[in-house]
Amino acid sequence: MLTMLENIDSAQLNQQFLQMYSQEQQLLYFIVIYLAAPFFLLIPVMVASVITANSFAGEKERKTLEGLLYTPVSMGELFIGKALAAFVPAIVTTFASFIVYGILVNSLAYPVFSELIFPTFNWVVLIFLIVPLLVLCIIFINIFISAKVKGFQEAYQLGGVVVLPIIGLVIGQATGFLFISVQLLLGIGVGLAVICFVLFSVIKKKMNRYEFLERMN
């Protein structure tokens, strides 16, 4: 890991590490600021995936979806309700974890750095821009899958594929191949916003009450 830090191909990161007095500071800063960042994205992904996978698929298994579809609730209202039921817990859990993580990092790192090192700007962008957009993408993908399949386990397994890009970020960060900079996060944010818009447009066309009822029979 020290060898990797010595060969970082980034002027900004090189400058950050050169300002540190010891290898202990370099390693600690790399782990808590850079290496932990992609792992943190797994929190909203896991929460949102479990809840949304159970949205329509769980209703089908419990035989409650048909009664819900016969109510005067519109499909748009039903979709918004299912989305909010996953979005709010995922965001609250992530923000709470962010606060706890920040307290732990600063309390443990302060004796080494003699200053507070968390949060950095890239963490602010990650939590307040990337996480909400990522949660929306996960919700749209899993609601679409959950509406198509017959059971919760099938929906959850198919929806779990969305974890793979995050695992790629973890590997890239750990090997030094890729560092999550502010510029990269902004690029990811733009990409997620486009994906969210496309998914929302597709789901809006596919959310048909009569198709749901036919699929259940």
pLDDT in tens, 5-48: 666 655 556 566 556 657 777 777 777 887 788 788 888 888 88
Burial of 108 from C-beta contacts in 10 A (0-12 / 13-18 / 19+): exposed
Phi, psi of 41 (to 5 degrees): -70, -20
Structural domain span for residue 171: 22-216
Burial of 183 from C-beta contacts in 10 A (0-12 / 13-18 / 19+): exposed
Q: How many CB atoms lie within 10 A of CB 42?
A: 14
Six token digits for residue 176: 């030094």
What is the mean pLDDT of the segment spanning 118-126? 85
Nearest to 32, CA basis, from 114, 111, 104: 104
Within a domain: residue 8? no
What is the pLDDT, as a whole number, of residue 38? 79
What is the mean pLDDT of the segment spanning 107-125? 83
Six token digits for residue 141: 């993908």
Within a domain: residue 209? yes
Residue with tokens 């929806």: 159
Within a domain: residue 53? yes
Within a domain: residue 15? no
What is the pLDDT, as a whole number, of residue 88? 92
**pTM value > 0.85:** no
Within a domain: residue 7? no
What is the pLDDT, as a whole number, of residue 103? 92
Within a domain: residue 59? yes
Judged against a pLDDT cut of 70, whether residue 216 lies above it is answered with: no
Within a domain: residue 88? yes
Asked if residue 86 lies in contact with residue 139, where contact means CB atoms within 8 angstroms, the answer is yes
Within a domain: residue 200? yes
When divided into structural domains, the chain yields a total of 1
Asked if residue 65 lies in contact with residue 56, where contact means CB atoms within 8 angstroms, the answer is yes
Judged against a pLDDT cut of 90, whether residue 206 lies above it is answered with: no
What is the pLDDT, as a whole number, of residue 213? 52
pLDDT, tens only, 56-100:
676 767 776 666 667 777 777 778 888 888 899 999 999 999 999
